[in-house]
Structure 1
Amino acid sequence: MTHATAPDGTRIAYQVQGCGPPLVLLSGQANNHHWWDPVRADFHDTRSTITLDFRGTGESDKPDVAYSTAGFADDVIAVLDTAGVERADVYGTSMGGRVAQWVAARYPDRVCALVLGCTSPGGRHALERGPEVRRALAQPDAAAARQALTDLMYTPAWSAAHPGPHATLGDPAMPPFARRRHFAASAGHDAWDVLPQITARTLVVHGTDDLFNPTANAALITGRIPGARLELIPGARHAYFEEFRTVASPLVRHFLDAG
């Protein structure tokens, strides 16, 4: 376990695996680097992967202060600086995709290619999840809420064949205040105005059946980033990269290698 130090002194844990050109993998809200465990090896035949525990998760510090997706992007750069990485490909999913937008927009010289998965531009232009989804996730019965989240991530058939535990359902050791801070950071994300400033070659990936982060957001992002390409995975829900890894991983690898 290695740590970088963010500009405000927060220690950010990061992990490096594999050999070759670096690929930064950014996980979803309230999750640590284990989000990527099921698929990160899919990239190791051609590149190394760098993951991190966002502040508030995993082995990183957990300051009880306001978090933001732009601030998480600064933490990513601190990791790259400490790891001695000048430029990297960046692949972010869900909230990690929101963070990746800021990394690419604010630090264009640090990003080679960009992949934005199951994510949103945020702000008033984004399409929010429906009220029925919000109610299902907010129900007081913790087991029922967790099942609702599982159903948003995976198809019922796949869940039945893969009962878990799933690394995409949240960091179990995360303190409640940090969960609230992550939720606020993701909810407060708005990169609409900076998306046209992204110069990295960009691929946008989304499942056609994603209700957690509605699929229409993929087209919104694609339309804002110059030259961005959109790929929709039929039948996939929010965790498309895991359930549909045999489609998603080759798709992303081919895009990255084409550069």
Structure 2
Amino acid sequence: MPHATTADGQRIAYQVRGDGPPLVLLAGQSNSHAWWNPVRPDFEASYRTITLDWRGTGHSDKPDEVYSTPGFADDVIAVMDDLGLATAHIYGASMGGRVAQWVAINHPDRVNALVLGCTSPGAAHGYERSRELRRALADPKRTGRVLLDLMYTPDWLAANPGPHPVLGDPNMPSYAKARHLVASNKHDAWDDLPRITAPTLVLHGTDDVFSPAANAPLLADRIPGARAELIPGARHAYFHEFHTTAGPIALEFLAQSD
């Protein structure tokens, strides 16, 4: 598996599939590239898809040090550099959407089009999950079940018992999970969002309470020229359960910037 080396000497694993213009897919907090596996084929017919394992996950290095969403964005650029990509489309979901914001803010000349899925500008100005939900997620006896219910509708879970690749990298060290949580919680791109120049689509499920759906119009209003699309009935993993709706929306948008 190929690796890119970052400015601070860390090795970031990445994966490439498909043909066409490059599309970088960025996973959620504490997840490896496996987050995108169920829907990656939807994009491979039109794009050369690129995923990566965040530092702390998968086959990437796992330093026990401070992580941040701007730092993760620099790791994305390191992967693009290793592949010789001057530009790419960027599609980030959940924490990946937070990282994607910084890629577009700090490296505007590297982003052709931007898709931000089920994400937020950060706690300081965004809409956060409830206190009750945070308590439930902190209970190790309930976390897995709570996460599943946040990601998918009951009917879909009944018909799809798993495994579910969006629940986190099972081999991730506990210290790295804590580092990811802090990085995501400290994300705050609010003041810089108006600097985004890439065409931007914001996608969100209407029934997402993990990252509340009210964040979608908030981001779209803050980013010049952006538009929001809400997927009716979808929860946090809208891109998976509702991929037959969400995938074509993203593909149509990206095609306008090819």
Name the TM-score class by shorter chain: over 0.9
1:88-237 matched pairs, under 5 angstroms: 88-141=88-141, 144-237=142-235
* Superposition RMSD in Å: 0.6
- State the number of aligned residues: 257
State the AA in 2 paired with 1:58: G
State the AA in 1 paired with 2:130: G
1:13 and 2:13 are equivalent in the alignment: yes
Give 3-state SS (helix, strand or coil) of 1:211's partner: coil
State the AA in 2 paired with 1:182: H
State the AA in 2 paired with 1:220: L
Runs of 4+ in 1 over 2 A off after TM superposition: none
State the AA in 2 paired with 1:243: E
- Tell me, in whole angstroms, the C-alpha distance in 2 between the residues paired with 1:254 and 1:32: 26
- Tell me, in whole angstroms, the C-alpha distance in 2 between the residues paired with 1:235 and 1:242: 13
Deviation at 1:247, TM superposition (A): 0.1
Deviation at 1:120, TM superposition (A): 0.4
- Tell me, in whole angstroms, the C-alpha distance in 1 between the residues paired with 2:238 and 2:217: 17
- Tell me, in whole angstroms, the C-alpha distance in 1 between the residues paired with 2:123 and 2:211: 13
Task: Give CA-to-partner distance per residue, 1:180-207, whole Å, 9 cap, x none.
Answer: 0000000000000110000000000000
Match of 1:59 in 2: 59
State the AA in 1 paired with 2:51: T
TM-score (norm 1): 0.98
Give 3-state SS (helix, strand or coil) of 2:194's partner: helix
Deviation at 1:219, TM superposition (A): 1.1
Asked if 2 retains the 8 angstrom alpha-carbon contact of 1:123 and 1:191, the reply is no
Deviation at 1:240, TM superposition (A): 0.1
Deviation at 1:156, TM superposition (A): 0.6
Task: Give CA-to-partner distance per residue, 1:196-239, whole Å, 9 cap, x none.
Answer: 00000000000000000011111111111000010000000000
Match of 2:255 in 1: 257
Q: Give structure 2 stretches of 5+ with no counterpart.
A: none
- Tell me, in whole angstroms, the C-alpha distance in 2 between the residues paired with 1:145 and 1:202: 33
State the AA in 2 paired with 1:253: L
- Bigger Cα displacement from structure 2, 41-50 vs 60-69: 41-50
State the AA in 2 paired with 1:34: A
1:80 and 2:95 are equivalent in the alignment: no
Give 3-state SS (helix, strand or coil) of 1:214's partner: coil
- Tell me, in whole angstroms, the C-alpha distance in 2 between the residues paired with 1:185 and 1:154: 25
Deviation at 1:139, TM superposition (A): 1.5
Give 3-state SS (helix, strand or coil) of 2:228's partner: strand
Task: Give CA-to-partner distance per residue, 1:44-85, whole Å, 9 cap, x none.
Answer: 111110000000000000000000000000000000000111
Match of 1:240 in 2: 238
